[in-house]
Structure 1
Amino acid sequence: MDAAEREHRRQRAENLLAGLEEQGVVAVATSFVDNAGVSRVKSVPLDRLPSLAAWGVGFSTAFDFFRFDDWVAAPPSGVGPVGDQRIVPDLDRLVVRSALDGWAWAPGERFAQDGSAYALDSRLLLRRLVADAAAGGLTYRAAYEIEWVVSLDDTEFVPAASGPAYGLARLGDASDYSHDVLAALAAEGVTVEQYHPEYAPGQFELSVAPEDPVGAADTSVLVRDTVRAVGRHHGFVTSFSPKVDVAGVGNGGHVHLSLWRDGQNLMAGGQERFGLTAEGVAFAGGVLAHLPGLLAIGAPGVASYLRLVPQHWAGAYACWGLENREAALRMVTGSTGSESAAANLEVKSFDLQANPYLLLAGLLAAGTAGADLPEPVDVDPASLGEDELARRGIGRLPTSLRESLDAFAADEVLTTAFGPQLVEAIVAVRESELELFADASPEEVAAAVRWVH
């Protein structure tokens, strides 16, 4: 970032001040998501926005080594507490918050003190991979599904809405709350495509419109913070944890992804199975081939593997299939006649402890590497039995963070895309969590992370 770029950012922010003041904004927050999936924030009074936009505000580099509980993991290199960075807001995504009076928010990107891109910033990484693909004529559309539960208590989980799974009764029980969630998101410019009660007690889910990958990750952060804020207004505590209650199904964070060339969706209109194009097949194959290592990014905590079990619609088996909700990769074609717009790949094995930028970066790197797709699976893989699974070459995905972290460290496609500094930080944070929970029961794990994400 040179002097001309800084002045451009400063002037743009200056031009926004009057309009923001008219909307009642008194402060602007900018945040990034760390390697434990926690959004970390700095904020300034509104009149300081031009300075924030031009120069950013300081953040210790130690935040790349923060565990979910704010313990700072110690990397082998010893560099954790050394150095500083500047977080700078992306004014293109500045949003006046509808459920947080007086506040505006913009996702941040981190730069070194000399203005160069910070090597461990996941949003800058994702932007770079998107730009690399665009240089080759490829674009992507992505969206996160958001699942959460609301509780009446912050010490134990007491569902704040009653009624059966997907039930109209539960929607009615929480109609005022649901109204306020949808109204708040609409006011913030988020396009919600679906909203419904989910399977677990007190659980809801919404789907948003697809965007470019960076926009999709931004929206994931914004939606969760808005849902949490609306819940507070209603006296609810919100959890996006993958395992709120050990006996329950948990919250997922499925990713929908499609790739496009020259305005054509490469997940449709092709000659391969289910209408995939050859490029679509290779991309899906790359994601499936690298899924064991990707789980260290997309299912990044010990609690993630309490959710990632068969027959919970979590995608516990390394396979794919058409509309198969037990396969790790669910091919979605959409209704007949809508395929060209609707076809996409849903990756079901992930949860909302993940850093959304880092996860999409990993998915793009894996898909770009490409691989052949095996035969699709048209039944619940858990119903096949061990002999048939072995015959078809279908294996379980990693069943622990230890297993997925080892797969990540050995995956040259992922580690090369992320770079050694970021890989070191990710591994340090994961190793620290493994050490923390080495002797913990599932109930203790679930309780420790219940209200963090």
Structure 2
Amino acid sequence: MDDEQWSRDRTARAEEARLVAARLHAEGAAGVLLTWVDNAGLTRVKGVPVRRLEHAAAWGVGMSPIFDVFLVDDSITESRFIGGPGGDLRLFPDLDRAVPLAAQPGWAWAPVDRYTQDGTPHPGCQRRFARRMVDRALALGLEFRCAFEVEWVAARADGPPEEIAYPTRGPAYGMGRVIDLSDCLRDLLRALDEQGIAVHQVHPEYAPGQYELSVAPEDPVAAADTCVLVRQTVRAVSARHGLRVSFAPAVEAGGVGNGGHLHLSLWRGGSNLCHGGTGPHGLTGEAEAFLAGVLAELPALVAVGAPGPGSPLRLVPSHWAGAYRCWGRENREAALRLVTGSSGEEGSAANVEVKCFDGAANPYLAVGAVIAAGLAGLEAGRTLPPEAHGDPATWPPEQAARLGVERLPQSLPEAIGHFERSELLREAMGEVLHEAFRAVRQGEAELYADATPEEVAAATRWRY
């Protein structure tokens, strides 16, 4: 973009921001929190007074590129392209997503895109990567509807940091857990509604103190934005009720961790391609090829969607974690669960759930990488292998071999190896983002190489 065009865009952004700032101020906001998610899966932030939003939208807010190589414990590594104290970037808020935060009175929120100081897109920007993959699909006439499930574990905030003081001991999925945290969950629903988030359901989950919330599908970038906003709201509402929360993949070693399942459907011309076709369970040929592409790339995608030091502790068989590379209709042990919906609503409800992803994932990277893999499958005209029925952990080895079903990576180094060998993800992400992400994954693998499962869970449970 030339300087003249950039100047014109700056003027338009400033004018739009002036109107947005006036709205936010009228709704009681004193400041705006500008967030992005780094390669360790942590949400980072800079805040500006609401009256400064106009300047932020026109000129951006400064932030070092070094955060692209921060690890989960805030130690810093480096990649071939990013490292050291030099350089600067600019954070530009997405004004369309700016919203007052119901659980943080006086604050508003907006996600950002990151640019260089000369106005060119930062090649390491995770949000822009997701948008590039969406645009790649749009060029083929394809659209997506996506949503992330959010799971978390609640604990009393007054408990010792090294322990988990659960606020409820009710049974899994039990009404007792809702009663014990009734006021908190009610305030959460109210806050999300005030922020324009369409909640589909909320319920207790399997692990102690664990809950799950699902939302309406949106376009992929919006779905990732909403995931960030939902988690921030869960944390803020819980804090007002004397609770702290963990979205970590492994809150306790040996337990059932927090998933970050991605639901996705593929659309063309207003029609859901996951329904109405002649393929398995009504999949169209395009949807089957897309899902086959995702399935083929899953070992590398695990490094993106289940990337944390505690992720291998969650990704185990017979825990509904999707630990095997296979697919199946409503099979909760398959990494790809095909959801066809109830009779009569298949056209709107049919989708696929990527079950192997968890709460350590950067949602922008997760959705962008899945789209990249699916589009490669579409281009290659892939077909799905035979469907997996039941729990592969209970099968004799010859049955798994015959169906081509295998365990997904069981360690960070194994997942990193698949990621490094994936030319598909390297091309889609670009060298700068790919290398920074790889450096973070390698750094965290080395950081916790000698740690026990209990030490990994304890060190990371309150980081996410």
TM class, shorter-length: over 0.9
| Equivalent residue for 2:184, pick from 171, 177, 189 | 177
The one-letter amino acid of 1:158's match is: A
TM-score by length of 2: 0.96
What SS does structure 1 have at the residue aligned with 2:257?
Answer: coil
Partner of 1:90: 94
Task: Please say if 1:428 is aligned against 2:448.
Answer: no
Give the C-alpha shift of residue 292 in structure 1. 0.4
What SS does structure 2 have at the residue aligned with 1:279?
Answer: helix
| Equivalent residue for 1:250, pick from 241, 250, 257 | 257
Partner of 1:365: 372
Partner of 2:145: 141
Task: Please say if 1:260 is aligned against 2:289.
Answer: no
| Equivalent residue for 2:209, pick from 199, 202, 207 | 202
The one-letter amino acid of 1:84's match is: D
State the alpha-carbon separation in 2 of the partners of residues 230 and 78 from structure 1.
Answer: 36
Task: Decide whether the 8 Å contact of 1:61 with 1:80 is kept in 2.
Answer: no
Task: Decide whether the 8 Å contact of 2:65 with 2:82 is kept in 1.
Answer: no
State the alpha-carbon separation in 1 of the partners of residues 84 and 275 from structure 2.
Answer: 46
Task: Decide whether the 8 Å contact of 2:14 with 2:54 is kept in 1.
Answer: yes
State the alpha-carbon separation in 2 of the partners of residues 341 and 70 from structure 1.
Answer: 42
- Correspondence 1:101-112 to 2 at 5 A: 101-112=105-116
Structure 2: runs of 5 or more not aligned: none
> Which range moves more in the overlay, 380-389 or 239-248?
380-389
- Correspondence 1:34-433 to 2 at 5 A: 34-76=38-80, 79-152=83-156, 153=159, 154-370=161-377, 371-433=382-444
Q: For 1:263-299, what per-residue CA distance to the aligned partner results, in whole angstroms no more than 9, with x for missing partners?
A: 0000000011100000000010000000000111101
The one-letter amino acid of 1:257's match is: L
Partner of 2:22: 18
Q: For 1:167-209, what per-residue CA distance to the aligned partner results, in whole angstroms no more than 9, with x for missing partners?
A: 1111111111110111111111001001100001100001000
> Which range moves more in the overlay, 81-90 or 318-327?
81-90
| Equivalent residue for 1:28, pick from 32, 35, 38 | 32
Give the C-alpha shift of residue 247 in structure 1. 2.8
Give the C-alpha shift of residue 80 in structure 1. 4.1
State the alpha-carbon separation in 1 of the partners of residues 30 and 329 from structure 2.
Answer: 49
The one-letter amino acid of 1:249's match is: V
The one-letter amino acid of 2:211's match is: F
Q: For 1:94-145, what per-residue CA distance to the aligned partner results, in whole angstroms no more than 9, with x for missing partners?
A: 0110000100000000001110111000111111111121121100000000
Give the C-alpha shift of residue 76 in structure 1. 4.4
Task: Decide whether the 8 Å contact of 1:242 with 1:303 is kept in 2.
Answer: yes
| Equivalent residue for 1:6, pick from 1, 7, 10 | 10
What SS does structure 2 have at the residue aligned with 1:72?
Answer: coil
Task: Decide whether the 8 Å contact of 1:292 with 1:407 is kept in 2.
Answer: yes
Task: Decide whether the 8 Å contact of 1:52 with 1:88 is kept in 2.
Answer: yes
State the alpha-carbon separation in 2 of the partners of residues 365 and 282 from structure 1.
Answer: 13
The one-letter amino acid of 1:393's match is: G
What SS does structure 2 have at the residue aligned with 1:115?
Answer: coil
TM-score by length of 1: 0.98
The one-letter amino acid of 1:388's match is: Q
| CA spacing shift, 1:78–1:62, aligned 2, 3 Å | closer
State the alpha-carbon separation in 1 of the partners of residues 405 and 437 from structure 2.
Answer: 28
Q: For 1:25-80, what per-residue CA distance to the aligned partner results, in whole angstroms no more than 9, with x for missing partners?
A: 10011111000001111111111110001111111010100001111112245644
Task: Decide whether the 8 Å contact of 2:114 with 2:122 is kept in 1.
Answer: yes
Task: Please say if 1:443 is aligned against 2:454.
Answer: yes
State the alpha-carbon separation in 2 of the partners of residues 294 and 392 from structure 1.
Answer: 21
The one-letter amino acid of 1:21's match is: H
The one-letter amino acid of 1:408's match is: F
The one-letter amino acid of 2:351's match is: N
What SS does structure 2 have at the residue aligned with 1:290?
Answer: helix
State the alpha-carbon separation in 2 of the partners of residues 231 and 27 from structure 1.
Answer: 21
What SS does structure 2 have at the residue aligned with 1:9?
Answer: helix
Q: For 1:312-355, what per-residue CA distance to the aligned partner results, in whole angstroms no more than 9, with x for missing partners?
A: 00000000000000000000000011000000000000101100
